[in-house]
Amino acid sequence: MNLRSFDAPRRRPAPAQYRSDEGLNHPIAPRTVFIFIKSQCDGCAAFQAGFQAAGWDAKVVAMDTDVIESLSVIRARELVQALDVRHAPFFVAVDGDPLVVVTEGVPFDPEHLRSLLSAVS
């Protein structure tokens, strides 16, 4: 079975940094994948404890304040807006210099997301 995300990737510029809800600026490195989750989302639970993929810096971003507090989950509403994320679960992978969105979509589970990321050259 060849599962792929429902959304076609929209190649576009990505920000070079984001500001967390705590007011701190964080640079974004090439080969970073952001996984956006929220509470009351069955598909989000698999990513709440974090995510790892070879060759990618993974960051899990909470889209609401009800997500369980975790060291691996960040809050950055500014980033949600900058990357035009409208629902969860959703991922956006950025790479290049300058940074661009190289792939994005709905991850069905962590293994599916790893498969999608491995296809990005």
pLDDT in tens, 29-73: 999 999 999 888 888 888 877 789 989 999 999 888 776 666 578
Residue 100: the pLDDT is: 96
Tell me: pLDDT of 79 over 90. Answer: yes
Decide which of 5 and 68 is more confident.
68
Cα distances (angstroms) measured from residue 39 to each of 43, 66, 77, 82, 100: 10, 6, 15, 21, 28
Return d(Cα 15, Cα 1) in angstroms, integer. 34
Q: Mean pLDDT over residues 83-108, rounded?
A: 94
Residue 48 lies in a domain: yes
Question: Which CATH number do you get for residue 58?
Answer: 3.40.30.10
Residue 107 lies in a domain: yes
Residue 10 lies in a domain: no
Count how many domains the chain has: 1
Decide which of 53 and 10 is more confident.
53
Residue 6 lies in a domain: no
Structural domain including 103 reads 17-118
CB atoms within 10 A of CB 11: 12
CB atoms within 10 A of CB 43: 14
Decide which of 63 and 81 is more confident.
81
Return d(Cα 28, Cα 95) in angstroms, integer. 9
